[in-house]
Amino acid sequence: MKRRRGETEKGRNGEKKKLIDSPSPRFPDSKKAGFTLLEVMVAVIVLGFGLLAIMHLFPIGLRASKISQDTTVASFLAQAKIEELKNTGWSQIAGGTEAYGGITDYPEFKRVTTIDNVEITDPGLKRITVEVFYKPYGGERSVKLVTLFTDYSKKM
């Protein structure tokens, strides 16, 4: 039986109720439920711009990670050269350049070792400078370590 606006109906406790047009009883707030197509499109566009911004950060992070890794390797190679020179005899300490591809297992690095006698303060003192060069993403960068060696045989 179809009911129309303005008709009355008996309620549960016997009083009469006037009927009004309302949404279907199955979905009482159907006019307010859900999103409009415009709201969904705006949300998708905002989410898309957010994802694009995050995707632009990934290459920057990868580049920074590669530069950091190369700097660490260059520091290691410079320290390894200083340790190698420590283990040679005082008279055999010599400078030189190892070109790109000249360092075993590290072809993308170049190492320059410079030996200076510091005779002003002490005739048995040498300043050793090891600079390691590398080329991340086109530009050349370097790490430089400087240390002083003394000839202990003359000190005793």
In a domain, residue 132? The reply is yes
Task: Assess contact for 109 and 97: CB atoms under 8 A.
Answer: no
pLDDT tens, N- to C-terminus, the chain (156 residues): 555 555 566 666 667 666 555 555 565 555 666 778 899 999 999 999 999 999 988 888 898 999 999 999 999 999 999 999 888 877 788 889 899 888 889 999 999 999 887 767 666 788 899 999 998 887 889 999 999 888 776 655
Quote the Cα angle for 144-73-93, to 5°. Answer: 50
Domain with 113 in it: 71-155
In a domain, residue 48? The reply is no
**Number of domains observed in the structure of the chain:** 1
In a domain, residue 104? The reply is yes
Q: How far apart are CA 77 and CA 145, in angstroms?
A: 10
By CB neighbour count within 10 A (0-12 exposed, 13-18 middle, 19+ buried), where does 109 fall? buried
CATH number at residue 92: 3.30.1300
